[in-house]
Structure 1
Amino acid sequence: MESQKMKEKRKYSVPAIENAMEILKLLSRNRFRESTVTEIANALSLNPATCYRILQSLEEFSMVRYLENKKRYTLGPYLVVLGERAKEHLDYLSIIMPYLEKLTRETGMTSILVNKIGEDKVAIVAKVEASDFGVSVSVGRHFSITDGSFGMCFLAPLDQQQREHFLKQQKGLKTFSEEEVKTIERDMEFIRENGYSITYGEYIKGLGGIAAPIFSGEDTVEMSIELICFTSQFDKEDLHLKGILVKRAAEDISNRIRNLS
């Protein structure tokens, strides 16, 4: 069963706005960076006429751009303006970036900041890439709340019913068997007790991750920070030492963010 909170949020949804946001998110993905109306409508299961009207409205505000020679849509220039203004107003980014830089400097791993987007999505909003043999990532890339060690940080504070709801939707990088869902439930206890999560090639072959949650309230996780590495560089047990570093950074960030309010 869905939680009461999820039902209430859905009750107040505005389909046109939700569809517009889904279009913008779709165009932010490399695979769909230049797409026709038909491609967008098919990918999002939208009526083509409805999709076209929304694209026309977004184009008026320069949030999408129509490429006449290709008959395709892409993201528009005004999103750059909005992005820059958002960075100026998001005080927490100025707090978090030095921690990412320090973690990358001390570990030689790429560090990222992941922010929750809606109920079941997260996105990379900042990064510091390791200079030597580091993992390359794209700011703006979206994932499911069930993906990777950063996703586990968002799942851990939820109740079991909510976690199972997201895991059984099978919208992430991997699908989960009943046995894997039970294993994840046991992992939740480790995350709550130790303050960090580790993955080691389970979601993307060859990649490992160490993440810790950033709390904006007593049990509210809106962000997480993660170190990403190639599994060929480290044994899994070695990552626990890095987990302590990430946890300490996340705790410090959480305290400083709470003091902003």
Structure 2
Amino acid sequence: MGIAPSTESLGTVQRVAEVLRFFSERGSATLKEMSQALSLAPSTCHRLCELLSRDGLIEKDEIDKKYKIGRELFRISALVNAKNDLRSLSIPFLEDLSNRCNETAVLSVFLPRDCKVFFAERADSTRMLRYQLPMNLPMSPLWGASGRSILAFLDSSDLDRALENEERAPASGERPPSRKSLEKQLAIIRDRGFDLTFGQKIVGAVGIAAPVFSANGKVVGSVCLTVPESRVNTRNQTKLGAMVQNSSAALSTALGFTNYSNPRRKAATS
């Protein structure tokens, strides 16, 4: 029988993960900024930074005295990214979708641990009017078609987790819906096979998204078109929705999913 890790060891691992996540999202910071952001003592931050610096996972800039992600972590991240089937597989599907409608196509990925989603890959349109997207930034799945099309196929417990954060819509400032109202909205998404939202994440943008499933039938992300409101009307909404569905179905098939022919499939657990 193996020896169970001590509480102290588990605590250190958790703090290391928090530090790496902090610098990955922040970019660079002083020990004071890190201490305040993570609610850790400056001495603890210094010890963790020294520990991670030994293996090149973070580095210290001797000029401004700020710590940042190290070259070894960049190398490890590149290896992981190169072997990440979902992200690498999505690129030709996004490019094809973008080319067919000349709009920006985006892959969003679901983070089960945090019940968040983030924009992972994109293929831009050639049009002058398009949007800058916050790539690789975890966000609530409550807002925007890219998140809601994922949320519609998650477990009931995930709905509770998404609602408990009470995050307002990033662009419109809307309050989260009630549980009953949310369930009705998600049922419509499952019945239609895709979601369509106006200005929830980005002012003036319409999101049209459909879910992506892995070989085991679990939703892992979504394919989304981000389109200026001026280019969306009642005539092309259904057409764009069908195009997004076809792309997400093709990507799901490439991941090994075999049941995308039924867009009205129920959520994993009611």
User: Which letter does structure 2 place at the counterpart of 1:114?
Assistant: S
Q: Is the 8 A contact 1:108 1:134 kept in 2?
A: no
Give the corresponding residue for 2:254: 256
Q: Is the 8 A contact 1:129 1:135 kept in 2?
A: no
1:214 aligns with 2:212: yes
Q: Is the 8 A contact 2:115 2:140 kept in 1?
A: yes
Give the corresponding residue for 2:138: 142
Between stretches 191-200 and 144-153, larger displacement belongs to 144-153
Give the corresponding residue for 1:169: 165
Give the corresponding residue for 1:112: 106
**Pick aligned residue for 2:23 from 20, 24, 27:** 27
| Count of residue pairs the alignment pairs up | 247
Give the corresponding residue for 2:3: none
**Pick aligned residue for 1:205 from 203, 206, 210:** 203
Higher helix share: 1
Q: Is the 8 A contact 1:212 1:246 kept in 2?
A: yes
Identical aligned pairs, as a percentage?
25
- For 2:46 and 2:174, the matched residues in 1 are separated by 36
With the length of structure 2 as denominator, give the TM-score of the two structures: 0.79
Q: CA deviation at 1:204?
A: 2.7
- For 2:28 and 2:234, the matched residues in 1 are separated by 39
Q: Is the 8 A contact 1:197 1:212 kept in 2?
A: yes
- For 2:133 and 2:175, the matched residues in 1 are separated by 28
- For 2:141 and 2:38, the matched residues in 1 are separated by 19
**Pick aligned residue for 2:225 from 203, 224, 227:** 227
Give the corresponding residue for 1:5: none
List alignment gaps of at least 5 residues for structure 2: 1-8, 259-270
Q: CA deviation at 1:258?
A: 1.5
List alignment gaps of at least 5 residues for structure 1: 1-12
- State which structure, 1 or 2, has the greater radius of gyration over its C-alpha atoms: 2
1:123 is paired with a residue whose SS is strand
Rate the CA distance shift 1:18–1:128 in 2: closer, same or farther, 3 A.
farther
With the length of structure 1 as denominator, give the TM-score of the two structures: 0.81
Give the corresponding residue for 2:81: 87
1:144 is paired with a residue whose SS is coil
- For 1:40 and 1:154, the matched residues in 2 are separated by 33
Rate the CA distance shift 1:192–1:19 in 2: closer, same or farther, 3 A.
farther
Between stretches 138-147 and 93-102, larger displacement belongs to 138-147
- For 1:243 and 1:103, the matched residues in 2 are separated by 11
Q: Which runs of 4+ in 1 moved over 6 A?
A: none
Provide the alpha-carbon RMSD of the alignment: 2.8
